[in-house]
Every structure is written in C-alpha cells, then in structure tokens.
Amino acid sequence: MLRIVKTPSLLLLLFGLAITLNAIIVEKATLEEIISESHVIVHGKVIDKISVWEGKQINTYLTLQVFDVAKGDGIGETIQVKQYGGKIGPYADEISGQPSYEVGDEVFFFLVDWKGNYWIHSMAIGGYVVIETGGVKYAVNGFNDIEFVEALNNKIGEELKGEYQLFDLFGKVQSLSRME
C-alpha cells in the first residue's frame, strides 16, 4: 500500500518538474525597467526571416521594416533582430517560451544590443505582436511558457502587462525614455 502512494507522488513530482523545465524563467520586471534596459524600441513589420547554423546551434535573424522608433538613435528603415533557435530543413532548435515570428507579422519590440546584435529583451518579454481590433491597434504578448520569479527587491512601477493599446504604449515609452 505504501508503495502505491509513493509512486503516484513521485510521478506527480516528476511531471511537475517537466512542466517547469518547459518554460523560460525570467525575473519579474516593470514596464519602466524594460524601457530603461532596452537600447532600441521599435514598431515595425517582419519582412524577412532566415535561420542559419552558427557553430552547433541554429539562430534566426528577423529583418524588420521600421515604422516608428520609440527609443534609440540612428535606426534606419530596417533593423535586424537575432533570436536563438530556428528551423533548417529537418533540423530544429526550439526554445520553449520564446515566440516565433513570421514574415508579415506587425510587431513592437524592446531590443537590447548584445554582442553586436539586437535581441528581444529577455528572449520573450520584450516581444509583442500588433493586432488590430475595431480599428484600434494593440501590442500583445501572451507570456506563453514564461515563468516569472520575484526579485530580491520589490519592484516599483507599472507591472508589465500582456496587452497595451499601441498608441498608449508608444507614448509611454517615449515619455519615460526622455526622463532617462
């Protein structure tokens, strides 16, 4: 009888660990922190997507047609964003929790300049798809497969949300960027 009780508990524990391991774990952040830590914040459209082998891993490069720059200097008509993972033929490197963007997607990205490339802030929390509903555009990030952990210090500021009206978000980014 005791063994029957332990086995389901062990299976439940292992199942719980498997679920946890299938997520990106990031420190909880405020909108103000994401804005401050991002070097460039843009609204644009994915016009090209290419995955390449780099060493033993696949990385994907997205080329964005830039519509508006909310933060950053010297940004041209296009910008390239690098992501870990991708697919080449039958091979795929997938990062659980990292969204996949396709050519034609309208996006709003918080980007960090790291090692000579622009990356989406925290791999996922800085990437929003823009959708239009009833003539109003929204920047949406479902935070799929993302687990947030609390920082040692309390966060002060607006909690990072999964959905913003694009116009409001753009204005807030510009306003907070000017105060830096």
Question: Would you say residue 3 has pLDDT above 70?
Answer: no
Mean predicted confidence (pLDDT) in 71-93: 95
More confident residue, 175 or 26: 175
pLDDT band at 17 (very low <50, low <70, confident <90, very high): very low
In angstroms, the CA 61 to CA 120 distance is 11
How far apart are alpha carbons 178 and 51 in whole angstroms? 36
Residue, of 150 and 111, whose pLDDT is higher: 111
User: Which residue segments constitute the domains of the chain, with CATH numbers given?
Assistant: 24-178 (2.40.50.120)
Q: How much is the average pLDDT of 49-68? A: 97
